[in-house]
Amino acid sequence: GRMKTHAHLGDCWKEFNDQVRCSICMSGAPRLKLLFETNTQLKSRWSASYALHPFAYGDDFRDLAQFIVTLLQPQSLENLQQFLLNADALNRVQHATDGVPAHVVRLLQRVMTLLGSGSELNMPLLDAAWCRSLPNTTFLPNHRRPFHAAFNFERLNGMDEPFYPSPFDGDNHAPYH
């Protein structure tokens, strides 16, 4: 079973790394750690790892705000930064992405695309960007849509919601080891 699959996948990664002859960065699910734990040769090829955990709920969103500023810096869109960096917008971005950096990036990419097409910067634009960045969100009721005025500011981790814990990856905000 399982160990053979991990060994085979590890061997594929090693072979791929040999063929491309450049640095490779892997990111993703916590289960990726298991791949390295079961294949010591693969583990020896990657000398460093860094866990990029989701931004936490309930803090002042300072880290999330800094992350957004860093992502938007090359664009130097001051009005977008001002809009997104107020406490209400940060709280909504946190809920819309569950604080997962990859989701924040994807959301901001969709926002930039919509702004580039001449759309006005407002909460409906953020809602449209959010629906395009995460599948199966357009059907959610208004009180479960982070950029809608009726949003109830509860995590979107219920059944049929975007951050429902999967059997593979679990909860984004579970304690990490």
What is the pLDDT, as a whole number, of residue 177?
Answer: 45
What is the pLDDT, as a whole number, of residue 103?
Answer: 93
Residue type, 143: H
Tokens of 131: 């629906």
Question: Tens digit of pLDDT per residue, the chain (177 long)?
Answer: 455 777 777 788 788 888 887 777 766 656 677 777 777 777 777 767 777 789 999 878 999 999 998 888 766 677 888 888 899 999 999 999 999 998 999 999 999 999 888 888 899 999 999 999 998 898 999 999 999 999 999 999 999 999 998 876 778 777 754
Between CA 83 and CA 20 the distance in angstroms is 42
What is the pLDDT, as a whole number, of residue 163?
Answer: 93
Between CA 175 and CA 145 the distance in angstroms is 26
Which stretches of 26-157 are DSSP H helices? 32-37, 40-45, 62-72, 78-84, 87-97, 101-116, 123-133
What is the pLDDT, as a whole number, of residue 31?
Answer: 65
What is the pLDDT, as a whole number, of residue 79?
Answer: 80
Residue 7: beta bridge partners? none
